[in-house]
Amino acid sequence: MIISIINHTGGELSDADVQQAIRAINRQIAEDFEPYWSMGATLRLEGRTGSKPSNHKLDEMRGDAVIYLWNETDVDNALGYHATNDRGIPFGFVFTKLSAELGENWTVTLSHEALELVGDPEVNLLAAGPHPDHSDRLVFHWYEMCDAVQAQTYTVDGVDVSNFLLPLYFTENDEKGGRNDFLGANQGGAVLKSFGIAPGGYVGFFDPATGQHETVTRRGDKDAEKRLKIKAKAGFTRRSVRYKRGLETMHGKPGAKRASG
């Protein structure tokens, strides 16, 4: 899988800065992620054809998916076409302003987006597991690589990158001696459980009982709730793609609704 990176930050990030991040994340994917998941990708910086993403210019992409680096947050017009484009192009966005509000390096966001594009490029995979608040109820968790541990980071060649989940995380029962995330422990020192949530993270899932997609954080986790509010400013994300598709499937019409969290 080749992921085209397009730098639309208007000079805020130099191509040299982006290349440094790409080199580190490519190493993260090859040496950390792929040995566990047996799925890989290569990020590659490509040229741009205008000052911002366009819903008619797909010639920027010379690979299998695309991630835009952008210093704007009003993305409704720029993003909507990707979800319905007849070529079915997987995509992601890194908003430098939102990364700054979150207090994290934009390279962490890029790492997060890249790993999730590799794991679920079409944003349509689910894994059966317990409801976060009702362990006796089965729901269908989003197959997202970083959301549950998104506040945790580490460095590769001096570049900050995102922690990520391992395959055993998506198993219904905890396995003795199993590892559920790459760094091996949440911020409180306890091992992350299968389908669990680390401090600062969240999980999304489809609940058959309510017929809706929902998003939840750890109970009382103000930092995670703040992160979700900041991310919501983007208006259109992988999360909202799931909400929209879920409503279209159930009701035969477009729409998006955040059920909780």
User: Consecutive 10-residue runs of the chain (261 residues): their mean pLDDT?
Assistant: 90 94 98 97 84 57 83 56 56 83 89 94 90 91 93 95 96 81 78 90 91 86 77 60 51 36 29
CA-derived radius of gyration, the chain: 18
Q: Which sign does the torsion angle of CA 202, 189, 192, 90 carry?
A: positive
| CA distance linking residue 132 with residue 205, whole number of Å | 9
Entry pTM:
0.84
| Three-state DSSP class for residue 165 | strand
Buried b (16+ CB within 10 A) or exposed e, 55-83: eeeeebbebebbbbbbbbeebeebbeebb
Which strand (E) or helix (H) includes residue 91?
Answer: strand 91-95
Q: What is the pLDDT of residue 92?
A: 83
What phi and psi, each to the nearest 5 degrees, are found at residue 195? 60, 20
Output the pLDDT for position 235. Answer: 53
82: Cβ–Cβ under 8 A, 6 or more apart, which residues? Answer: 89, 91
Among 133, 131, 154, which Cα is nearest to 32's?
154
- Exposure of 56 in the CB half-sphere (CA atoms within 13 A): 0
What are the extents of the domains in the chain?
2-251
**Dihedral over alpha carbons 99, 214, 28, 101 (to 10 degrees):** 10
pLDDT of residue 241: 60
**What pLDDT does 73 receive?**
62
Q: Which residue, among 193, 149, 153, has the nearest Cα to 171 in the 3D structure?
A: 193
Bridging pattern class, strands 42-46 and 2-8: parallel
pLDDT (0 to 100) of residue 234: 60
Query: In this predicted structure, what is the pLDDT of residue 233?
Result: 59
